[in-house]
Structure 1
């Protein structure tokens, strides 16, 4: 499927503006905003403001702008490389997307489900933009299925590869032999 919105959006991604769309973006309420960090933001804490409810996605009062260049890097607590820095972005990413300008906050980029099936920390890196000196982002929506992380404590177990008979005292065995006739 190919389509255009007059602002350079051509692609094979699905999006619509139905009211149910907001419900699908259920991960907004699961983000640990207090521990979310955005590197290279011009104003401290502004990166946290772009993760907002679906119905507020067009609110242009809250945004993050890059500081010294166009790069932005978000560390979102919920893949398992917590607290990445710009030095770490040389590592191979789990998935890359070619972004398109999106004035309505409705473009979707499908992730490889197998790579993102048990995420508890997500890093999003924006290495550049569409030609500006600085990057400005108004909205990032994350959707998916949330399940509570279950952390099982250490269970102390003893395993025997070869049992030691002296360790197993069984008093109910009668050592008397019986003859069968």
Structure 2
């Protein structure tokens, strides 16, 4: 995909090792809240492979479920959720070689992004370390990534290979059910009492509360 802009922005440090404890499977369960039917991965060499890297913690190192880029090293995931999430951390695992992605860029609530769209400044980005065991977590800015209904992950580069391979992407955080009730307008009318009968009531004195 020629014409992609491989800009180098500011990266935020925040990675740390993770212990392989039983509770990790619970913490990294946000993959269950992905709307897989509407999720898309751009520049995947095998259609549908991008969805396979969002898997259980126990299955995170299964190399039979990977995604590899197609015509160049870039990959872009558009990930809608079934509700709202508060993203607290992310793990990216690949092979311990040049195919491992070297950078990740995160965008909040921008559905159906393309590689051209990803030229804008990311909400957060990290320089990645090679992680073949899924032990490095990158801590996101929770204030920024709260109330997320759509997450875009852009991998613009790797460590020197023509294609990028990803084995596992883990998302840690909280999920809440989305409320699709639209905007509710409540109107409160000023009603004069008998004691206030001498007061003039302005018919336009209505209070509107938007919930």
Matched, 1:102 2:131: yes
1:146-169 per-residue CA deviation (whole Å, 9 max, x = no partner) reads: 111123333244578xx8xxxx79
Report the secondary structure of 1:132's partner residue.
coil
- 1:153 is aligned to 182
Within 2, Cα distance between the matches of 1:118 and 1:155? 20
In the TM superposition, structure 1's runs of 4+ consecutive aligned residues that sit over 3 Å from their partners are 156-160
Residues 15 and 139, structure 2, Cα contact 8 Å, conserved in 1: no
- 1:5 is aligned to none
Residues 42 and 75, structure 2, Cα contact 8 Å, conserved in 1: yes
Within 2, Cα distance between the matches of 1:152 and 1:14? 41
Quick check: which one's helix share is greater?
1
Report the secondary structure of 2:153's partner residue.
strand
Within 2, Cα distance between the matches of 1:132 and 1:90? 22
Matched, 1:43 2:46: yes
- 1:83 is aligned to 112
Gaps of 5+ in 1: 1-10, 176-181
- 2:56 is aligned to 53
How far is the alpha carbon of 1:47 from its aligned partner? 0.4
Quick check: which one's strand share is greater?
2
- 1:6 is aligned to none
How far is the alpha carbon of 1:12 from its aligned partner? 4.8
Gaps of 5+ in 2: 1-13, 82-107, 198-211
How far is the alpha carbon of 1:80 from its aligned partner? 1.0
- 2:69 is aligned to 66
How far is the alpha carbon of 1:106 from its aligned partner? 1.9
How far is the alpha carbon of 1:26 from its aligned partner? 1.8
Within 1, Cα distance between the matches of 2:187 and 2:24? 51
2:160 alignment partner, one of 122, 131, 141: 131
Pair 12,52 (structure 1): closer, same or farther in 2 beyond 3 Å: closer
1:106-140 per-residue CA deviation (whole Å, 9 max, x = no partner) reads: 21000001100110100000001111100011110
How far is the alpha carbon of 1:50 from its aligned partner? 0.5
TM-score by length of 1: 0.80
Report the secondary structure of 2:124's partner residue.
coil
Within 1, Cα distance between the matches of 2:41 and 2:129? 21
